[in-house]
Structure 1
Amino acid sequence: MEYLLFRLYGPMASWGDPAVGSDRPTALRPSRSALLGLVAAALGIRREEQSLHDKLAASVTFAVKQYSAGVLLRDFHTAQVPSQDKKTIRRTRKDELQTGRLNTVLSIRDYRCEGLWVIAIELTEDAGWDIRQLKEALLKPKFTLYLGRKSCPLAAPLSPKIVTSDCLRSALDTEFEPILKDSDADRVWLPKSDRVTYYWQGRKEATNLTGVSSDKVWDDPVHRQRWQFSSRTEHSASKHREE
C-alpha cells in the first residue's frame, strides 16, 4: 500500500472542535476538516468550489501520528458588535462599525503551541488525484498553507514523501529529517514526549496496536461555505516512543 507522508510543526496551531457561542476550542491533533483544507489549499481549490471539495473528501483518508500535542494557549480578546436589529442588513464590517450602537463581547480562542504531527494520506479506490500529484501540490502549494488558522503558519517544511508499507503504523513511523540542526538545539525548544499517539479511520486493527479506543468525532466537512460537518468514527492508541 502506498501512503503519502508529511509532517506538521509550528509555534501555534488550532484544530477546530465543535464550538458553542464565543468559545473556539481546539482538538489535540489535526482534524479531518483541517487536513482536507490544507490539501485543498495546496491544490488551489477555492472555498466556493464545493464540487471539488466533495471530490477531494471522497478521494483521501488520513491517519495521524502525534509526537506532541503541544501546550494549550488560551487567548481572551474583545470584539465590538452592533446590537441585534432584524430590520437592518449589514453586509460588511464597515457597516457594523458605522451603526454607532456597539457592544463589547468576550471571545475565547484556543491554540496548541509547539505541536508536532506526522500525517499519512491513503487514496480511496475512486480517488480523483494521483498520489504523486498530491505530493507535488504539497511541495509547491497554490495557496498559503497554515495550521488550522491563518495566524498559525508552518515553521518547518512539510517534506512530503511516498512510502510503501503493508502496515499503517510502519508508514507513520517513517523518519523525517531533523527540524533543527544540532547547533540550533541549545537555542530553540522542541516538543518532547515519552509517548506518541496514533489516530486513524477505517479498520480498527490497521495499526496492529493494542489498547485501541474508538470515538465519534464531528470533523467531516459537509459544506465548506455553510460550515456544516458530519460525524465519523476515529480510532486511537498510544505507546511509549521506544516500543
Structure 2
Amino acid sequence: MIDDGVPLRDYHTVETIPTAAAKRPDSRPSAMLTAGHATNTTITLRDYRVGVAYAVALWGAPLDGLAEALARPVFSLYLGRKSCPLSAPPDPHRVEATGPVMALTQARLPPFRPPGRIRLVASDERIAADDAEDSRNDMAIDRSKWHFATRAVYMHRPVREEDGA
C-alpha cells in the first residue's frame, strides 16, 4: 500500500419479499406485484476507501498472461464496488527484485499522483520477524456454495532509511 485514501460510506436499500407474501413467483416483478406492500426493506452500510494507491507484486507463472489481462481488461476494473472504478489504468511491468519489498519500490504511479513510498506490504510469507499476523477468510473452497477457508496474511511495514534501524 502506498496511500490508503479516505473512507467512503455507501448506503444501500435491500428489499426482500417474505415467502408467505409470494410463494414460488415466476420472476421478481411478479413477486413484487403479488406481495404488494408486504415487503421488508432494510438499509445496509458499506464502507470503502477512495483515492488509494496500491502496488502489487506477483511471481511465478504465467506472468505474461496476467500482464496482458491487466493491460487490456475485458471488464471494467474496480475495487469493491462498480461505482468505484480505478482512477487510472493498471501499469503491469516486469522488474528484477530479490523480494516483494524491492519489487514494490519499483512501482510506477500515474502522473497525477505525488510520489509515494511503500507503507505496508501484505504477504502470504513473513518478510521480517516482527511482521504482524492477520487472517483472511477468502481462500475459495467451493465457489458455487460460497465456501471459503481462512489463510494467514503477514503485515510488513518497511523501514525508511531516514527513520533509522
Same fold (TM over 0.5): yes
Structure 2 regions of 5+ residues with no counterpart?
A: none
TM-score by length of 2: 0.80
Give the direction of change, closer, same or farther, for the CA distance of 1:93–1:109 in structure 2 (3 Å limit).
Answer: farther
1:115 is aligned to 2:115: no
2:18 aligns with 83
Does the alignment pair 1:134 with 2:71? no
| Counterpart code for 2:157 | S
- Structure 1: 5+ residue stretches without partners: 1-65, 181-189
Corresponding residue of 1:197: 120
Matches within 5 A, 1:177-192: 177-180=109-112
Q: Distance in 2 between matches of 1:110 and 1:218?
A: 18
Alignment partner of 1:83: what SS? coil
User: Out of 21, 32, 39, which is 1:102 matched to?
Assistant: 39
| Identical pairs, percent | 31
Kindly state the Cα deviation for residue 152 of structure 1 after the two structures are TM-superposed: 1.9
CA distance in 2: counterparts of 1:160 and 1:194, whole angstroms? 18
Greater RCO structure (CA 8 Å; 6+ sep): 1
Q: 1:220 aligns to what?
A: 139
Deviations along 1:153-212, one digit per CA (max 9) or x if unpaired, are: 1111201001121222101111304331xxxxxxxxx6898871110003x13xxx4631
RMSD across aligned C-alpha pairs, in angstroms?
2.8
Q: Normalization by structure 1: what TM-score?
A: 0.57
Whole-Å separation in 2 of the counterparts to 1:196 and 1:121: 18
1:76: Cα distance to partner?
2.5
**Any conservation in 1 of the 2:2–2:53 contact (CA below 8 Å)?**
yes
2: distance between equivalents of 1:91 and 1:72? 40
Task: Give the one of 78, 83, 87 matched to 1:155.
Answer: 87
Pick one of 149, 152, 156 that aligns with 1:237: 156
**Closer, same or farther: CA 108–210 of 1 in aligned 2, 3 Å:** same
Question: How far 1:68 sits from its partner (Å)?
Answer: 1.9
Structure 2 residue aligned with 1:170, among 96, 102, 107? Answer: 102
Distance 1:227 1:91 in 2: 25
Contact 2:131 2:154 in 1 (8 A): yes
Larger % of strand: which? 1
- Whether contact under 8 Å (1:219, 1:229) holds in the other structure is yes
CA gap 1:120/1:194 in 2 versus in 1, 3 angstroms: closer
Shift of 1:67: 1.2
| Cα shift at 1:226 | 2.7
